[in-house]
Chain A
């Protein structure tokens, strides 16, 4: 996997949504909203952006009479997130090295 910056994950809570979904097969809307700590409209908006980028699959269903929305990362979404995280980690390492070289 090549570390690569992905601007899609740099807006709003998209990185947090991706990180949450990275370890799960599916997560429902309420779980994502509560974990990320954002409002319904914010999650909807950014989920739509991730879906438009082909990074998120959205499935709508119902549990009893309650409608429920489920999210999961697609294959390309997962790859893009992993590359972006690798880029962030390498950048963090470089910055730490730079800090260490700075005179105190």
Chain B
């Protein structure tokens, strides 16, 4: 095997890993449902008796996310590092964007849900897709790092 053949084989394996690491469409559906539920939970919690909203929205959203991740791990045959920020250099910026979108969205919805529900709905409509979009970006960045061998798993 020549040097170039060996390097081509390495590139081929990285590409195969990236293909396998790509999250399926149903994961994004479940992830979007969970994100909308978590960012907008206060909107529903305020309209239900104390504690009921948590059981109807917050726990099911967390459960949906955990089930989605479990299904992915079970079907994919690989597991990737959970330390996205440390191990995938290209995913740092979108990871920060995801956290900002999700946390700011949750905060604005929480603060305004009781007094200005219209603002809370707008915050939910803006923040949830932004958070999901940032997570899609995270995924693309991770795949790019896998393809170029930039993953820093110790």
Interface size on B, residues (CB 8 A): 28
Query: What number of A-B contacts does a CB cutoff of 8 Å give?
Result: 78
Q: Do A88 and B13 touch (CB < 8 A)?
A: no
Are A89 and B13 also in contact (CB < 8 A) when A31-B78, A78-B153 are? no
Q: Tell me if A85 is interfacial: C-beta within 8 Å of chain B.
A: yes
B154 near A78 with CB under 8 A, answer yes
Which residues from 50 to 94 on chain A have a C-beta closer than 8 Å to any C-beta of chain B?
63, 73, 75, 78, 85, 88-89, 91-92
Complex partner residue of A85 from B10, B79, B145, CB under 8 angstroms? B10
Chain B 1-46 residues near chain A, CB threshold 8 A: 3-4, 6-7, 9-10, 12-14, 16-18, 20-21
Expressed in whole angstroms, the Cα–Cα distance for A23 and B147 within the complex equals 8
Query: Quick one: closest B residue to A94, CB to CB?
Result: B3
Does B146 count as interface, using CB distance less than 8 angstroms? yes
Tell me the count of chain A residues lying within 8 A, CB to CB, of chain B.
Answer: 25
| A31 contact set on B, CB distance < 8 A | 20, 76-78
| Given A31-B20, A85-B149, A24 and B80 contact (CB-CB distance below 8 Å) | yes
Bound-state CA distance A91–B3 (Å) is 7
Instruction: Provide the residues of chain B in CB contact with A15, threshold 8 Å.
Output: 6, 9-10
* Nearest-Cβ distance from residue B94 to partner chain A, whole angstroms: 18
Residues of B within 8 A of A (CB): 3-4, 6-7, 9-10, 12-14, 16-18, 20-21, 74, 76-82, 145-146, 149, 151, 153-154
Query: Interface residues, chain A, CB within 8 Å of chain B?
Result: 15-16, 19-20, 22-28, 30-31, 35-36, 63, 73, 75, 78, 85, 88-89, 91-92, 95
